[in-house]
């Protein structure tokens, strides 16, 4: 990639008006988000079950000049339909960026899980939501530093969060860090 910066005197007009730059930015944003959505769906299989959702996908590229990280701030399945009693698992496959799975209001502490969250024998966090008025929060789900190149060993990262839905209903959720960027979803539970 090659880029040039032209510094103009303050008295000189820009080559285009603001509407032109806004249109260009909108077009590029839509193209990037579309590509990211397609990449998440194509490159990442659902985790460990038929009711899996990838919570962000990322790629780190390193070369002699340094590294570059690209993250898709989306859930691979924005809406998922299950039957009452089933469990959905979210898996953060992004090697750098943390995400949360948050049902209900955002808690003041985004890093730690809500008190109702337990840990399954395989290390995944787990919650049960009985009603659409219940709330739960995964805390950060993210790869640990040792899972990244060149960083020291650390405790294993928590990259998976499960929620069991005993009852029917529509359950909206967000990533509390990236919901303003469109990282939202819904679990629709049928009888």
pLDDT tens digit string along 120-175? 998 899 999 999 999 999 999 987 665 555 555 555 668 899 999 999 999 999 99
Neighbour-count burial of 98, counting CB atoms closer than 10 A to its CB (0-12 exposed, 13-18 middle, 19+ buried) = buried
Residue ranges of alpha helices (H) inside the chain are: 18-43
Q: What is the pLDDT of residues 44-67, one digit of tens each?
A: 444 445 566 666 655 555 555 555
* pLDDT at position 176: 96
Residue 101: inside a domain: yes
Residue 123: inside a domain: yes
Residue 2: inside a domain: no
Residue 168: inside a domain: yes
Residue found by looking up tokens 């990442």 in the block: 44
Please choose, from the candidates 191, 162, 168, the residue with its C-alpha nearest in 3D space to the C-alpha of residue 55: 162
What is the band of 71 on the pLDDT scale with cuts at 50, 70, 90?
confident
* pLDDT at position 46: 46
Residue 27: inside a domain: yes
Looking at residue 147, the DSSP 8-state letter turns out to be: G
Range of the domain at 160: 18-190
Strand partners, 126: 118, 162
* pLDDT at position 61: 52
Looking at residue 99, the DSSP 8-state letter turns out to be: B
What are residue 99's phi and psi, to 5 degrees?
Answer: -140, 165
Instruction: Provide the total of helices (H) and of strands (E) in the chain, helices listed first.
Output: 1, 11
Q: In the chain, how many domains are there? A: 1
Alpha carbon distance 23, 109 (integer Å) = 38
The CATH number assigned to the domain holding 26 equals 2.60.40.420
Residue 52: inside a domain: yes
* pLDDT at position 32: 60
pLDDT at position 37 over 60: no
| Window from 9-18, 30-39, 72-81, 125-134 with minimum mean pLDDT | 30-39
Average pLDDT for residues 73-81, to the nearest whole number? 86
Residue 1: inside a domain: no
| Window from 26-35, 69-78, 114-123 with minimum mean pLDDT | 26-35
* pLDDT at position 4: 59
Average pLDDT for residues 84-95, to the nearest whole number? 90
Average pLDDT for residues 24-29, to the nearest whole number? 71
Please choose, from the candidates 56, 126, 149, 53, the residue with its C-alpha nearest in 3D space to the C-alpha of residue 98: 56
Residue 4: inside a domain: no
Neighbour-count burial of 148, counting CB atoms closer than 10 A to its CB (0-12 exposed, 13-18 middle, 19+ buried) = middle
């Amino acid at each position: 990639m090659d880029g040039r910066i032209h510094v103009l005197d303050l008295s000189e007009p820009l080559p285009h008006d603001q509407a032109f730059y806004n249109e260009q930015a909108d077009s590029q944003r839509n193209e990037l988000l579309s590509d990211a959505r397609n990449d998440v769906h194509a490159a990442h299989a659902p985790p460990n079950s038929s009711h899996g959702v990838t919570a962000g996908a990322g790629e780190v590229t390193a070369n002699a000049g340094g590294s570059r990280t690209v993250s898709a701030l989306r859930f691979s399945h924005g809406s998922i339909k299950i039957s009452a009693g089933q469990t959905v698992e979210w898996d953060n496959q992004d090697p750098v960026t943390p995400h949360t799975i948050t049902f209900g209001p955002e808690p003041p502490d985004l890093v730690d899980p809500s008190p109702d969250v337990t840990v399954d024998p395989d290390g995944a966090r787990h919650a049960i939501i009985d009603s659409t008025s219940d709330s739960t929060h995964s805390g950060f789900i993210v790869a640990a530093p040792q899972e990244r190149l060149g960083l020291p060993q650390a405790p294993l990262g928590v990259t998976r969060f499960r929620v069991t839905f005993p009852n029917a209903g529509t359950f909206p959720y967000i990533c509390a860090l990236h919901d303003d960027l469109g990282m939202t979803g819904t679990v629709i539970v049928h009888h």
